[in-house]
Amino acid sequence: MCADSRFHIIVHDSAAFFIIIHFDSDAEPALPTPGRNVWMHLVAEIDHLRDFHFILLSVYIFFKTNVFLLKGVIYTEIMFELLMIVACIGMNAFLAAYETAFIASSKPLVRRIAADKTKTDYLKLLFLKDNPERTLSVIQVGITFVGMFAAAVGGVGVEKGLSPYFRETLGLRSELAELLSLLAAAVPLTYFTVVFGELIPKTFALRNPLRTASRFSHAISKMSKVFWPVVLLLEKSTKALLKWIPRLHESEQKDLDDVSEEFETMSAQSKEYVLNLFKIEKTKVASVFIPWNEVDILEKDQPIQEVEEKIIRFGHTRLPVFESGRCVGVLNAKEFLALLKAGKSDWSSIIHPSVILYEQAPLLSAFRIMQKRKAHMGIVKDLHGVHLGIVTMEDIFEEIVGDIYDEDDDGSILKILMGRGLPF
């Protein structure tokens, strides 16, 4: 368009508009076929205006096909649809978080907090916990509606907006343009829905179940009133089907509730101990035993003086006794010192038989065997009978309560004995 162009007439209706612009009379604009037809018609009608050096430039724009209007329509539609998608993801995140928090929150603890009548959020949450079928129905109805709406907006709305753009701008066939537009809508929508609509809110709710469930209990209660026909149908259907499934006796359920309430009131350290007790049922002996290269041992054929020296130097209460490269028992240091005090020298007579534990045995089973045998140390073997090392009661206790301080860990016993003039 030249610098001295001047608008002389504008013909505009709901289907198209035409602009008459001043330029060289010998020039003919390059227009698409629909525009050229209109151009020829108008030139014929105003042929007598040639002396005025006017020429008609017609831009025939249909609202659904012209590229200039199309861009505006696409941008407007996509912005609106993106806002709708963001709203859907936000709503899905809210419902997913509440569902997780509702299930994870402890009903006995909610009941205890709700005893303070001023805690209206917890009173409402307790009501929802007393009616789990209704609450879960509300959540599922909301998630279903949000998912349907998001799919309609993201899958159809954006596709309708992007498909013409791909055809006009990239010159793609209709089938390929529709496929690309669907992918352009579905892939980002799926990613953001999973991450921001599911994973993040559920993880947050698991970390803060009571706070999340109580804070939004009023909103869920209002949703149950909005969707009450569908919620009522789902609630009744669920209860009817659950009648055919066995459930815990009322007394058993009460016992579980009492245990759960007691657990929730424990300190963080106590909870850790309880959870560790459950863990040792799955922990294997192989994961905690001490291998032979780290164990202080005695030889059965050693003189009593060497045994005494080693017992005092090692500072252990119990020591494995070897003969011909195999463990034949365990010596109690206190019993050995009592033997010396009695003036006896046959220390092999006080060697206790070994308690054999297998490396793949659960740690709790090993503990029960040692408890039954009144042993504080067990010898660990593999399936082929090869001696691998030892495990002690202290090792098992440390799996429950953490590291236990032993005076011998820092050599304190040896220092005390040396301070008394013993030669080490």
The model's pLDDT over 136-146, given as tens digits with 9 standing for 90+, comes to 999 999 999 88
- Total number of domains constituting the chain: 3
Which residue, chain included where needed, has tokens 């009548």?
A: 117
Going by C-alpha positions, the residue among 196, 186, 13 that lies closest to residue 94 is: 196
Helices 158-170 and 174-194 cross at an angle (nearest 10°) of 130
| Residues 235 and 111 placed together within one structural domain of the fold | yes
Distance CA 95, CA 200 (A): 12
Q: For 351-387, what is each residue's pLDDT tens digit?
A: 999 899 999 999 989 999 999 998 899 999 888 888 8
pLDDT at 348 over 80: yes
Question: Do the Cβ atoms of 374 and 292 come closer than 8 Å?
Answer: no
User: For residues 98, 100, 106 and 112, what is the CA-based torsion angle, rounded to 10 degrees?
Assistant: -10
Is residue 254 scored above 70 in pLDDT?
no
Domain check: are 79 and 149 in the same one?
yes
Per-residue pLDDT at 333 exceeds 70: yes
3-state secondary structure 13-68: CCCCEEEEEECCCCCCCCCCHHHHHHHHHHHHHCHHHHHHCEEEECCCCCCCCCHH
| Tokens 């035993």 found at | 289
Better-predicted residue by pLDDT, 53 or 108: 108
pLDDT, average across residues 113-134: 85
Residue 168: inside a domain, yes or no?
Answer: yes
What SS3 string covers 262-309?
HHHCCCHHHHHHHHHHHHCCCCEHHHCCEEHHHCCCEECCCCHHHHHH
Instruction: Specify the pLDDT at position 111.
Output: 83
What size, in residues, is the chain? 424
Does residue 263 lie within any of the structural domains? no
Q: Which of 17-21, 48-52, 202-206, 263-267 has the lowest mean pLDDT?
A: 17-21
Distance in angstroms (rounded) separating the CA atoms of residues 388 and 290: 8
Question: What does the pLDDT read at residue 77?
Answer: 61
Q: Which of 183, 204, 239 delimits the end of a domain?
A: 239
Q: Are residues 51 and 153 in the same domain?
A: no
Last residue of a domain, one of 206, 239, 272: 239
The overall pTM is greater than 0.95: no
Amino acid at residue number 222: K
Query: Does residue 262 fall inside a structural domain?
Result: no
Residue 102 and residue 220 in one domain: yes
> Which pLDDT belongs to residue 92?
93
- Residue numbers of the domain that contains 347: 285-419
Query: What value does the CA radius of gyration of the chain take, rounded to a whole number of Å?
Result: 42
Model confidence pLDDT, tens digit, residues 10-37: 333 333 333 333 333 444 444 444 444 5
So what's the pLDDT on residue 369? Answer: 92
Tell me if 193 is assigned to some domain: yes
136 and 39 inside one domain: no
Whole-Å CA distances, 365 to 126, 281, 386, 396, 420: 41, 8, 20, 11, 42
| Domain stops at, among 57, 83, 98 | 57
Is the residue at 1 inside a domain?
no
Is 267 contained in some domain?
no
Does residue 256 lie within any of the structural domains? no
Higher pLDDT, 416 or 234: 234
Strand partners, 56: 20
Q: Pick the residue with more confidence: 275 or 70?
A: 275
- CA-to-CA distance for 375 and 379, rounded, in angstroms? 11
Express each pLDDT in 273-319 by its tens digit: 777 777 888 889 988 899 988 888 899 988 888 888 888 888 888 99
197 and 53 part of one domain: no
The answer to whether residue 36 sits within a structural domain is: yes
Give 251's contacts (C-beta < 8 A, 6+ positions apart). none
Mean pLDDT in the chain? Answer: 74
351 touches 331 (CB < 8 A): yes
Whose structure tokens read 């860990």? 409
**Residues 129 and 200 placed together within one structural domain of the fold:** yes
Q: In angstroms, how far apart are the furthest CA atoms of the chain?
A: 143
Considering the domain architecture, whether residues 322 and 358 belong to the same structural domain is answered as yes
14 and 81, same domain (yes or no): no
Coil, helix or strand at residue 119: coil
Q: CATH number of the domain at 313, please.
A: 3.10.580.10
Q: pLDDT confidence of 3, banded at 50, 70, 90?
A: very low
Least confident of 58-67, 101-110, 276-285: 58-67
Q: Give the whole-angstrom CA distance, residue 211 versus residue 216.
A: 9
Q: Do 188 and 307 fall within a single domain?
A: no
Q: Which of the residue ranges 226-235, 373-382, 398-407 would you say has the lowest mean pLDDT?
A: 398-407
Higher pLDDT, 52 or 76: 76
For the cut 80, the answer to whether the pLDDT of residue 322 exceeds it is yes
Say if CB 375 and CB 357 are below 8 A apart.
no
Do 409 and 384 form a contact (C-beta atoms < 8 A)?
no
Instruction: Give, in order, the Cα–Cα distances in Å from 146 to each of 15, 163, 288, 315.
Output: 37, 24, 50, 69
Task: Answer yes or no: do 215 and 331 share one domain.
Answer: no
Pair 12, 120 in one domain = no
